[in-house]
Structure 1
Amino acid sequence: MAGRKRAAPSSARSAASTRTTRSTRASGNRDAVPDVYQQMLSDAEVRPNVTAESPERPAKRRKPGERPKPPPKPSAHVPEHPKPSESEEEEDEDIEFEDVGLPLPTIQTIMRDSDEEADDDDDDELEFENIDFSLAEANASQINNEPKEIQLDLTARANAAPRRTADRRKPINKIEKDRRVEIHKTHLLCLLSHVARRNRWCNDAQVQRTMKRLLTNKMITYLNPGSNLSQFGQTNSLKEGLKQLEAKFKSEYTITERGLRRALWADSEEQLKDYQLPDDTETVMEKSDFCEVAKSLKGSRDVGAQLYCALLRSAGVEARLVCSLQPLSFAPGGPSMSQAPKPKKYLSVEERLARQPKYDSNFETPGIDKNAPSALRRLGHPSAAAWQFPSMATPRAPRPEQDAPKKIRECQFPIYWVEVLDVAHQKWQPVDPLVTHSFWKPKILEPPANERDNCMTYVVGFEADGSVTDVTRRYAKAYNSKTRKMRIESVAANGERWWRKALKAYSRGYTTDLDQIESNELAAAEAREPMPRNVADFKDHPVYALERHLRRNEVLVPEAQAAGTVGAGSKGPLERIYRRTDVRLARTREKWYRMGREVPGDEVPVKWLPKRVRKQMDAFGDEEDEDDGGEAGTPIFTMEQTKLYEPPPVVNGVIPKNRFRNLDVYVPSMVPKGGAYVADDLASHAAYVLGIDYAPALTGFQFRGKKGTAVLYGAVVASEHEEAVRAVIGGLRDVAADMERERRSREVLKMWKRFLMNLRVRQRIWAGVEEGAEDEVGPDEVEKMADEEARKAEELAEAEAEAEAEGEGEGSEAEGGFIVGDDDGDYGGGGFFG
């Protein structure tokens, strides 16, 4: 029967009977196939694999999830290791070891536990980029719909085209992510330098004189309101002057090139090899080119904003050059060059007219009376009825192509704009004369999230003195929820400090009252940011947190109160929202000990970390889970459950040590009472020379993979011996310096000896020879003669040294008036030494 299950074969049943039973049952089932299907199989020329002549059944296809049987292990003979001979054992017994002067401490190692470093997040190691699931969804929809008709076509599988798979990107591991972060930092520094250079160009006197021709006395009066006006009057006067200047600048400046846009990643090297800049890209400029653009007033809109900044500064207005930096994104889901949208094809006027529908000339538009009086007749003109209006059906002749202005299509949001100081309110206000044509409206300058060519992440403003200010919070609507996640502060542990250090290179060195007012304004704008509306924005939010987003080593305080609720979709359950101030970091006992704190024995853990499951390969090549031990996991504690670690004190000059004969000094508070920590490499040697008790200081571990080696630096001695140890350290350094100086002196004297020996050889070779004869001898002959004389000189020096050692003489003077010293550098008087 088809639905009957076969019982598992017992151990007593043989393999041959099992195969016979399966073959018989299979043949019986084949005979039960209807004639219709047998006819279809014969038409398709399909022959069964099992016949009466071949009772062996083909290999059964492995079911999904079933492991393959392990292959039989070959019975290979394992050779035994030969035993050492008696001669080798005797040689080992003859080895002797000498005692060293300074006893070396035992090298302490530690194995890093995956649960011990609880600060690491599982999701930080591996991240995936965007994956296209459209094909998978389409296949799922086809599966859900029941087919109306089933046709059997056995040849279709062989002739079918290969099935298309979904476009999946490779995951980004930690190494690739760190590389992208470093590239992101480098790109940021380059962009900052570029904007700072353009800001200096805006201060050029020649550029400002050229741009000042656009100003009128009336504009200058409006732009510089007097102090006699009220606060409202000063601001209104500045706005009126900017309005007039904007209209004048827009009419004079022409955009002919495309400005800066967002940088994209290349998926492969072939894309970079074939990549070419668009024809309308802004040309590379020098300062002289910038001055020429100021005269012609033609260029990109970025250069236009820079010239507008120079124009305002020439009028005496305090203006900033603001730029939205566009660095390469470090996020895995950032846009790439391969995802570039297809360029839109814009039709000309003739093509648009040709594609318009053609109507019949006899067609009458409903609702219009032909006998109705015309517009001019209704106005009362005497000869209005006789006037013949020109026909509008015939299009105008197109302008010559060389005269047509070049249309530049780019993002509808600016990269560069200007900030003007409203002196009356002591506040910086944005002005954009070329793109959005707005002023005093900061929130309309941020592009949407789906904009490909513009992403507002870092907005910096450069003043006339070259100082820079990060003003991103003024323009970003969701700085904490979205913008901050794309900045360096969210990925690097010291990202915020790195960004402050990068901006410090362009700071003025002191803080003014206006800077303090602006800092308070930006902080207030960040505090007024509303709570996120979706669950994804709560991840790594600096103000709010969800319990699902807490890391392994993060817990909520017991008295934490919910600040609100949020749901994952319309049908999802509501989750409580907590403030980030109610989240605490929890660590293991060992981690707290390395930070100089200890956990009392009666403290209850706030959380038990489950053991991480490690993957290992089994004998069949499949992955299986292996628990690294432990039933309940690893307990962690908060800082409130710890206290300051107090090591055992020093008694009678004896330093307490651990079983490795050293002392843990991870933080300064771990130095025992009555002891002193001497941070120097020679501290242990100095203490050994003095003969006092000491303990090498263990300051940390240097990990390479899972194994960590102890780092010993300095030593802990009794406080009454600290001054003596430091004095000995100074003496050891002086002795080492003297030895180094003596070694260098010996080397110099050896070089001088060699030099004098060569002079002696040369003098002996050319003694009694005319001056011109030296040029006639070839270099090879001279070299042979020099080698022979050098050999003789060395033999003579060795003979003199032996004679001096035996006391037969006090040395002999060398010929030619030169004195040859011994190897130790003891030279007699002579003309070459003082």
Structure 2
Amino acid sequence: MTYASDSSESDSDWIEVESSVLPDTTADLDSSVTSHTLEITLQSSVNKRKQSMIDRCIKLYERAQKIRKHNTHLMLLLGRLELVSRLCSDQLLQSAVLSLLPLHLTTHSHTNLQNVLLWFQQEYQASQLDEEVRNSIEKYQLTDLHSLVALLRSLGYRTRIVNNMIATPVREERGNKQQSRNKKRGGSREQLSTSCDKSPYFQSNAKQSRSQQFKRPRSVRMNHTASDEEFETPKKIRKKLVATDREACISHSDKYIDEWLEISVEEDWVPVHCKLCKLTNAYSCVELATPNSFQYVVASEREGKVRDVSARYCLDWGGKYAKMKPDNDSWLRILSLWCDSRDEEDRLEDKQLMSIQLSLPSPSTLSQYKCNPIYILERHILKFQAIYPADVLPVGIFRGDRVYHRDNVMELHTRENWLKEGRVISKGSTAYKLARGRTKPGSDPKQERKIELFGKWQTEIYIAPPVVDGKVPKNEFGNVELFQESMLPSGAAHVDIPGAAIVARKLGIDYALAMVGWEFHGIACHPVFRGVVVATENEGVLLEAWREGKEEKREKEKVVREKKVFERWRRVIRSALIKQRVDKKYKFTDNQMD
């Protein structure tokens, strides 16, 4: 028996109870819970086909976003190049750099050019410039290379700034895979050469044993000091560098140099070595730049003028590097913003760049033929392409396949697609090529469907029937096909305003909807209509009626808007009056409300 007592309370408040020990049921509860488990299997109601379409749309959207980011980066790099080129033409910077040059080197000649470059390499120091010029250089992050450009331009030499632009990549996964492969194989050539330069073997102050000197690792053979035979490719395309140039390049930092300059010498652009400051060939600059990155090599000579000179520095300009560009059409549109005008000098340089590619040996692999800008294999001719003229002789044979010039490859289209270009097939022309078409829904899939393809030389400009007595000529669907401006019928006008068909119908004017193209959605192609086509004499009446209708609509909207405003103000004033009347009747004050 147990008793409890408290001094503050009486004993009558307490009751005697027998002590008892409660059984421990937690262990039994845990064992019962853990021994019985309930599994619920939920069946996924997502359609696999629908999910695959969603994944495909997501991938396309992500790729489009990457391409936009890539193109935006290219535009920023081009803007930066234009800014730097403009700063190099600034008179303040040119006069400051020219003031450091000795007087006997200021004459303009080819012999003196070598001396100027040598003086700049040995004697030029940016610390000798004025404080204002140095502040400007630091503000815009200019380098000694830009000072050299300003000096040469001040002396009258035509000088370009060449930049190997490296934009944000679009195919990141492929690069990660390549890096993982290089790690498994022991690293790429560039990584091996960099690691070798950092190793104690190439340090002159490092002490090595006699066994280490004779027992060289395998990776050491692939460094900058290796012999030319070890670097030479099987095709022998890359030119050998001078031994002195190679030895001088060893001491420079491991950072790649993606910017150099060109000088016009005897109507030809000659590169200048970034480190040695002397005239050299294009491949010496390529050796110092970031490898496998020659997608966009551009040059700027004056403000607002940029040239694509990738063909001069890239040996495989039309092969591997052409595949690396995510969207070549977008690049051409971006480049046209800076080099819109095409003069005779640009055309001559284009011919020189093409002659450089023609002087190179023909491709030796199928992948090089795939994107080569000059040659094409017969097997690589696409479905809507053909060789014209048909009796042209091939320029060679590769593995039993005939090789043609790409100038002889012409695009082919069907009758409908040529009509979209504003052209029709000439009378008496037969199909230049028969291709296999897609099987129509509901037809026998085993039965092949042939489509007729025609070349541009088999077409002529489409001339639409003229307007007669105010009646617009229509097709079998009651529309006017207006894919090009030249397809507008004679005596007709295209009125591209919203609601023009409704106004023409009210006025009783003969009109036809203008079909300007096609769009694909909902697993089918649908026509795109924009505006109407009416007779020329009815255009003014239609536009005047449309303006009057638009003015009437604006007045009606104004009346409705004013009515809503008055109604809201009426409610506000009425509520204020009701509140005032209630406060006056019951004599409410602010203290009473609180």
Shorter-chain TM-score bucket reads 0.5 to 0.7
Q: Distance in 2 between matches of 1:317 and 1:462?
A: 14
Q: Is the 2:312–2:356 Cα contact (8 Å) retained in structure 1?
A: no
2:71 maps to amino acid: K
> Which among 587, 592, 607 is matched to residue 418 of structure 2?
592
Q: Distance in 1 between matches of 2:501 and 2:422?
A: 23
Q: Is the 2:384–2:412 Cα contact (8 Å) retained in structure 1?
A: yes
1:291 to 2:138 alignment = yes
Q: Is the 1:562–1:576 Cα contact (8 Å) retained in structure 2?
A: no
Q: Distance in 1 between matches of 2:403 and 2:432?
A: 20
Q: Is the 2:395–2:405 Cα contact (8 Å) retained in structure 1?
A: no
TM score, norm. by length of structure 1? 0.48
1:175-324 to structure 2, matched below 5 A, reads 178-196=64-82, 215-217=100-102, 220-222=103-105, 224-225=106-107, 234-249=109-124, 291=138, 303-309=143-149, 319-324=159-164
Q: Distance in 2 between matches of 1:333 and 1:522?
A: 35
> Which among 353, 363, 369 is matched to residue 533 of structure 1?
363
Instruction: Please state which structure has a larger fraction of its residues in helix.
Output: 2
Deviations 1:14-66 (A, max 9, x none): xxxxxxxxxxxxxxxxxxxxxxxxxxxxxxxxxxxxxxxxxxxxxxxxxxxxx
Distance verdict in 2 for CA 1:741–1:409, change over 3 Å? same
Deviations 1:333-391 (A, max 9, x none): 964454463662612769963432399xxxxxxxxxxxxxxxxxxxxxxxxxxxxxxxx
Q: Distance in 2 between matches of 1:209 and 1:668?
A: 54
Distance verdict in 2 for CA 1:583–1:333, change over 3 Å? farther
Deviations 1:397-446 (A, max 9, x none): xxxxxxxxx987526x6312233455xx4665432342x55325334322
How far is 1:225 from its partner?
0.8
How far is 1:206 from its partner?
8.9
Which residue is equivalent to 1:662?
A: 479
> Which among 371, 377, 381 is matched to residue 550 of structure 1?
381
Q: Is the 1:554–1:583 Cα contact (8 Å) retained in structure 2?
A: yes
Q: Is the 1:678–1:722 Cα contact (8 Å) retained in structure 2?
A: yes
Distance verdict in 2 for CA 1:738–1:696, change over 3 Å? same
How far is 1:755 from its partner?
4.4
Higher Cα Rg, which structure: 1
Which residue is equivalent to 1:346?
A: 199
Distance verdict in 2 for CA 1:203–1:358, change over 3 Å? closer
How far is 1:552 from its partner?
0.7
Which residue is equivalent to 2:395?
A: 564
1:634 maps to amino acid: I
1:699-718 to structure 2, matched below 5 A, reads 699-704=516-521, 706-718=523-535
TM score, norm. by length of structure 2? 0.65
- Percent identity over the alignment is 24
1:664-813 to structure 2, matched below 5 A, reads 664-673=481-490, 675-704=492-521, 706-757=523-574, 759-761=576-578, 764=581, 776=591
Deviations 1:174-199 (A, max 9, x none): 66654543333123223334445555
Distance verdict in 2 for CA 1:608–1:248, change over 3 Å? same
Which residue is equivalent to 2:244?
A: none
Q: Distance in 2 between matches of 1:719 and 1:358?
A: 93
Q: Which runs of 5+ in 1 are unaligned?
A: 1-169, 227-233, 255-286, 295-301, 360-405, 615-625, 782-834
2:556 maps to amino acid: M
Q: Is the 2:260–2:285 Cα contact (8 Å) retained in structure 1?
A: no
Deviations 1:64-112 (A, max 9, x none): xxxxxxxxxxxxxxxxxxxxxxxxxxxxxxxxxxxxxxxxxxxxxxxxx
Give the match's secondary structure for 1:701. Answer: strand
> Which among 259, 279, 286 is matched to residue 446 of structure 1?
286
Give the match's secondary structure for 1:529. Answer: helix
How many corresponding residue pairs?
477
How far is 1:704 from its partner?
1.1
Give the match's secondary structure for 1:746. Answer: helix
Which residue is equivalent to 2:24?
A: none
Q: Distance in 1 between matches of 2:92 and 2:463?
A: 70
Which residue is equivalent to 1:497?
A: 333
Which residue is equivalent to 1:32?
A: none
How far is 1:610 from its partner?
2.0
Q: Distance in 1 between matches of 2:114 and 2:160?
A: 16
Which residue is equivalent to 1:415?
A: 258
Give the match's secondary structure for 1:680. Answer: coil
1:500 maps to amino acid: S
How far is 1:536 from its partner?
3.2
Q: Distance in 2 between matches of 1:178 and 1:469?
A: 26
Give the match's secondary structure for 1:726. Answer: helix
1:621-660 to structure 2, matched below 5 A, reads 628=445, 630-647=447-464, 650-660=467-477
2:254 maps to amino acid: E
How far is 1:606 from its partner?
1.9
How far is 1:483 from its partner?
4.6
Distance verdict in 2 for CA 1:199–1:590, change over 3 Å? closer
Q: Is the 2:373–2:406 Cα contact (8 Å) retained in structure 1?
A: yes
Q: Distance in 2 between matches of 1:188 and 1:769?
A: 76
> Which among 398, 402, 407 is matched to residue 576 of structure 1?
402
Q: Is the 1:612–1:628 Cα contact (8 Å) retained in structure 2?
A: no
1:410 maps to amino acid: D
How far is 1:544 from its partner?
3.4
Distance verdict in 2 for CA 1:352–1:627, change over 3 Å? farther
> Which among 431, 436, 441 is matched to residue 272 of structure 2?
431
How far is 1:578 from its partner?
2.5
Q: Is the 2:273–2:284 Cα contact (8 Å) retained in structure 1?
A: no
Q: Distance in 2 between matches of 1:184 and 1:316?
A: 37
